[in-house]
Chains A and B, each alone.
Chain A
């Protein structure tokens, strides 16, 4: 066990409960964090990176409790990529990373070596002399990820690192994260389900400040097994009717007829057959049918 969260609660001044008495153990490896917008993921990540102090409950990192006496030591072991960040627009990629490396007390030579390595791994080497403001959204995101990796943190917290990346770059980043997670803890929040399947051993699903599920992806898929159905709709009207009454995870035209994939505890009263659950199906199942 690496990070332990016990009875954690965050209530904002406007009385909104962002996190409601959650418990979680984050083991070594990559833990995927999935949840709808406003579920409390960002708040949880802010607590784990010491940006936000919880209203109640405790967090410990390798047995070290999150308190003012330990913050400096804990902060030195954390790497963080927030969901939205604008790195220094007037600096070049190289200057920006060297500057941030200097601020996090990485020796100059080591910092340059790491920048070279991670820029190569994120396919940004050719962009190193470009100013940050000249980069595309996906490139900026990758530079953001490099800055989070720069101090080789024991605990990496990344909020939607693959946003704006093309498929090839996403695969590159996923592979990098998997390699990086060896003997480290990575908390990976994303809405891209494929990224979680490709990288995570464990997953946690949040809704309204609580965990609906935490465990392996396999177990989550198992929970949804038998509740995913493939139906054929004769026309668009029937399809719309189905969408009203069921949680539809996808629909597409196959050989002229509309094929609908839906999640239901009971078999819908029409021609349909059970099918294998994907992580997306399982997510919809757990967020809508979980007790």
Chain B
């Protein structure tokens, strides 16, 4: 696991992710505390997509995938899952820190104090954490899966960005409602007891399960394609 941490969290990635969250917490204005989650969820989703896109494709670009092919599939999948977990935990800690930074930089008003005081604030934070875990997990897995499938990190990021744009828009909210991937962002913030947004997160969890299930198939490549290209294969003869 120590090696996976070093492989998946190089200094430059840590730096740009921290920079992104710090800048976001400074420039994205919020008035009430219950707006912090809304301010953080979509940007964190995009960060996760960019951050995790090279989880496997780094093996392709470095040609290590040619050696990896000789390893048992269980080990290969495990290493990818560990890398996703390492990156997910890092982003989750960053998302939690980012929540605190909004308090530090913008001192938003406590919307729930009148109703429930500090307890309601903690509850709001825990709900945010629950939502952001799923969002980070979904977009991280999505970009990695797409990048691995197309053997191209930019396609992984690009398609993820397309999905992000559609679901993080009024169109996404209108057509998918509570089943939208960003159902937490589009929830009724003034009604904390309305937890219908969980449906959207259930969709995310199901999609992650499907993507992880097809991961071995993707890693195995397109064997049997009569000389077609496999993962990382270049035009060298």
Chain A contacts with B in 77-104, Cβ cutoff 8 A: 78-80, 82-88, 90-91, 95-96, 98-100, 102-104
Can you list 9 A-B pairs, Cβ within 8 angstroms, ordered by A? A13-B228, A42-B236, A50-B69, A51-B66, A54-B227, A68-B224, A88-B7, A90-B7, A103-B71
Q: Are the C-beta atoms of B63 and A75 separated by less than 8 Å?
A: no
Q: Residue B68 at the A interface, CB < 8 A?
A: yes
> A14-B235, A103-B75 given. 15 additional CB < 8 A pairs?
A16-B235, A49-B69, A49-B70, A50-B70, A51-B230, A55-B226, A68-B224, A76-B72, A86-B64, A90-B7, A91-B6, A99-B3, A100-B67, A102-B75, A104-B71
Bound-state CA distance A98–B1 (Å) is 12
Q: Are the C-beta atoms of B63 and A86 separated by less than 8 Å?
A: yes
Q: Are the C-beta atoms of B237 and A95 separated by less than 8 Å?
A: no
Q: Are the C-beta atoms of B3 and A95 separated by less than 8 Å?
A: yes
Q: Residue A29 at the B interface, CB < 8 A?
A: no
Query: How far is the CB of A198 from the nearest CB of chain B, in Å?
Result: 26
Bound-state CA distance A80–B76 (Å) is 17
Q: Are the C-beta atoms of A82 and B66 separated by less than 8 Å?
A: yes
Query: How far is the CB of B165 from the nearest CB of chain A, in Å?
Result: 33
Bound-state CA distance A98–B224 (Å) is 32
Query: How far is the CB of A185 from the nearest CB of chain B, in Å?
Result: 15
Q: Residue A105 at the B interface, CB < 8 A?
A: yes
Q: Residue B233 at the A interface, CB < 8 A?
A: yes
Query: How far is the CB of A60 from the nearest CB of chain B, in Å?
Result: 17
Which chain A positions have C-beta within 8 A of B226? 11, 53, 55
Bound-state CA distance A85–B2 (Å) is 22
Q: Residue B62 at the A interface, CB < 8 A?
A: yes
Query: How far is the CB of A75 from the nearest CB of chain B, in Å?
Result: 4
Which of B10, B223, B237 meets A18, CB within 8 Å? B237
Which chain B positions have C-beta within 8 A of A68? 223-224
Q: Are the C-beta atoms of A43 and B70 separated by less than 8 Å?
A: no
Bound-state CA distance A85–B75 (Å) is 20
Return the chain B residue nearest A47 by Cβ: B227
Bound-state CA distance A87–B68 (Å) is 11
